[in-house]
Structure 1
Amino acid sequence: MKKNRTSDFFTIVSVFVFSICILIQAVIPSFAASSPATNEEIFLWPGVAPGSEGLNLSEIVKDESEDPKIQSRGITKIVKPSITVFMPEQKNGIAALVVPGGGYTQNVFDKEGTDIAKWLNNIGITAFVLKSRLPGEGHADAKHVPLQDSQRALRIIRSNAAQWGLNTQKVGVVGLSSGGHLASMLGTNYDKKVYVPVDPVDEESARPDFMVLAYPPVSTNARIPQNGPEKTPLSPIAKQELYDEYPTDLQITKDTPKTFIVTADDDPKVPSENAVRFYMGLKKVGIPAELHIFMNGGHGFAIRNAKGAVAAWPELCREWMIEIGLFK
């Protein structure tokens, strides 16, 4: 009888332990999953994002489009940053983190996010549109939260490369406007310790293998000597602190990725000198780069508002990708 009772005891314990394991797997997010579906939203952090503890925000999504067939969403009050997946019909193994602009006061999610992702899908690239936290919404270490989120996003993409059919050496970033600044932050500060690692995903490199920057304000908004006399700080102050911390054209190293840059000479918000300064910074350390400054285009042309000559930039970018060896 003793042996039978002992056997029953171990059976009960085994069932209990197995049940606990199943429960743990159910409540803890996994970032090593089967290939996600298009439009699936993947949250970046397994719990509260670093520095957002105790912050009570309710996400606000405003669609300013006058055409019901075309979305034009701006997203604010972001406390649960994420990436939204866009899978091409024919994958070529290349992946890109798409970083929308919005002046660090909102995420311009469609014009500079989903539109770009769909273009990338058309050329076989798997795209992940970033919804990152904004520096002026009460997060601790506010000037670092966009970089925290973009580093984490790239690490999630790379850590799931095998399951998602991606090449870990062909994971890039595409950023527009302030998203171009954030993309350049990732390209120049990918190894900066801006958060404490939370799980094995954070063992992955956050370095992009290539960068595409569209009308990026790399340092024009930073109050640094090269910009002349002291300027009135930007609002909110956390936004100014971010630009002061990351004048990215001054942070380029020999390990910064190959870069494609596009802008317009008549941009009224971000002077084209930003693109020139970043390009010259790359050339100074021998990083291959391509710069296109179109005479007309204004600010925020992206793809949907690109008219005339500037509308050629996506095809020029695709040809650049071929030249740097992304496509076979």
Structure 2
Amino acid sequence: MDLNRRTALGLAAAVMTPVSQTVAPPDPAETIRLWPGRAPGGDRVTVTPRVVERSTDPAFRDRFAQYTTEPLLTVLRPARPNGASLLLIPGGGYKWAVVDKEGLDCARVFAAAGVTCFVLRYRLPGDGWAAGPDAPLQDAQRALRLVRARAAVDGLDPARVAVLGASAGGHLAGMLTARADATYAAVDAADTVPFRPDLSILLYPVATMADPFVHAGSRRELLGETPSAEAIERHSLERMDWRDAPPVFLLHAIDDGAVPVENSLQLLSALRAAGVPAEAHLFEEGGHGFGVRLIEGRPAAVWPQLALAWAARRGWITQV
């Protein structure tokens, strides 16, 4: 199915908005707490949550959330929803989770195409959670289940729930997509529905935990200074069992100096070997962490259109 003209025009306008506006748009008012009580395994957690603003330009915001203790979803509902939903998992090297660049900014672009978006603020592995490196994955699994469990109430299709992860968020989204084992004990009825997405979009993902292509900062935050060979194996996406996983879309800039393009190339080989439908787009330039705002005038600026066209061919979205 092709995107129609109205959808294409709305998408183009959304991509341009962050660079043409003079005041940053307000945050969506709707949020959803992931857990009915405290997040699991927090008895030894003593951190104090904070959100830091890095931008000095009133036209856009550039925040990151650190020391999160109450993970949540921020909901961005489109004017003309088409039934599809998207869980967005921003990056931050597992040291923090960005709020805007790979979260709300990207969500606004997909919402312009009729997609209901849920931006995840997740717990971090170094903050003392009992689950350690699985703490972020607990939040991702719970988030996907909540989106799917709420679908009927929200007027959404529970069989059209995708995930989009960027950088370290791409690693987390990849873990969510590949792993079939639940990482926490069920807490309510939402945990009876599947947690794997129907489609997975990975932007410049941190895929491998192994040298020489690892993003060292993400590995250190996730697995510690001297991780075991078993831990590296278990958390490297290209070494996981991808059989029966949903289709995957990969995007990477060849000149990425932070997360080498080999992360996506190795993962693509693993997906092909496992028979997972996959599409990959490599761009000569773009660097790392560009989201939708930092690539104006560059070839990679078309990535949202490419991702939506791919998703439409797979039946995730229809004409608006």
TM bin (shorter chain): 0.7 to 0.9
Retained in 2: the 8 A contact 1:252–1:282?
no
Retained in 1: the 8 A contact 2:85–2:116?
yes
Q: Does 1:142 align with 2:128?
A: no
Once structures 1 and 2 are overlaid, which stretch shifts more, 241-250 or 44-53?
241-250
Q: Which residue of 2 aligns with 1:290?
A: 279
Once structures 1 and 2 are overlaid, which stretch shifts more, 115-124 or 283-292?
283-292
Q: Which residue of 2 aligns with 1:235?
A: 220
Relative contact order higher in (CA < 8 Å, ≥ 6 apart): 2
Corresponding residue to 1:246 among 224, 235, 250: 235
SS in 2 for 1:136: helix
TM-score normalised over the length of structure 2:
0.84
Q: Which residue of 1 aligns with 2:8?
A: none
How far apart are the structure 1 equivalents of 2:170 and 2:218? 21
Q: Which residue of 2 aligns with 1:58?
A: 48
Alignment deviations for residues 175-232 of structure 1 (CA, whole Å, 9 cap, x no partner) = 000001100000001x31311111111111001000000000111x336xxx59xx99
Q: Which residue of 2 aligns with 1:326?
A: 316
RMSD of aligned Cα (Å)? 2.2
Q: Shift of the alpha carbon at 1:273?
A: 0.8
Q: Shift of the alpha carbon at 1:305?
A: 0.5
Q: Does 1:260 align with 2:245?
A: no
Q: Does 1:83 align with 2:73?
A: yes
Retained in 2: the 8 A contact 1:135–1:239?
no
Q: Which residue of 1 aligns with 2:259?
A: 270
Once structures 1 and 2 are overlaid, which stretch shifts more, 269-278 or 236-245?
236-245
- Greater Rg by CA: 1
Q: Which residue of 1 aligns with 2:185?
A: 196
Q: Does 1:95 align with 2:85?
A: yes
Q: How many residues align?
A: 286
Corresponding residue to 1:222 among 200, 210, 215: 210
Give 1:83's aligned amino acid.
Answer: L
Q: 1:238 to 1:137 in 2, by over 3 A?
A: farther
Alignment deviations for residues 44-71 of structure 1 (CA, whole Å, 9 cap, x no partner) = 0111111113523321111000112311
Alignment deviations for residues 135-177 of structure 1 (CA, whole Å, 9 cap, x no partner) = 0111112110010000000011111110001101100100000
SS in 2 for 1:85: strand
Q: 1:46 to 1:305 in 2, by over 3 A?
A: same
Q: Which residue of 1 aligns with 2:150?
A: 160
Query: Structure 1 unaligned runs (5+)?
Result: 1-36
SS in 2 for 1:113: helix
Q: 1:232 to 1:164 in 2, by over 3 A?
A: closer
Alignment deviations for residues 218-251 of structure 1 (CA, whole Å, 9 cap, x no partner) = 11x336xxx59xx999534645657553111221
How far apart are the structure 1 equivalents of 2:247 and 2:218? 32
Q: 1:105 to 1:315 in 2, by over 3 A?
A: same
Q: 1:239 to 1:202 in 2, by over 3 A?
A: farther
TM-score normalised over the length of structure 1:
0.82
Greater than 4 Å deviation, 4+ residue runs: 231-234, 239-244
Q: 1:236 to 1:305 in 2, by over 3 A?
A: same
SS in 2 for 1:167: coil
Identity of aligned residues (%): 38
Give 2:210's aligned amino acid.
Answer: A
Retained in 2: the 8 A contact 1:143–1:245?
no
Retained in 1: the 8 A contact 2:169–2:205?
yes
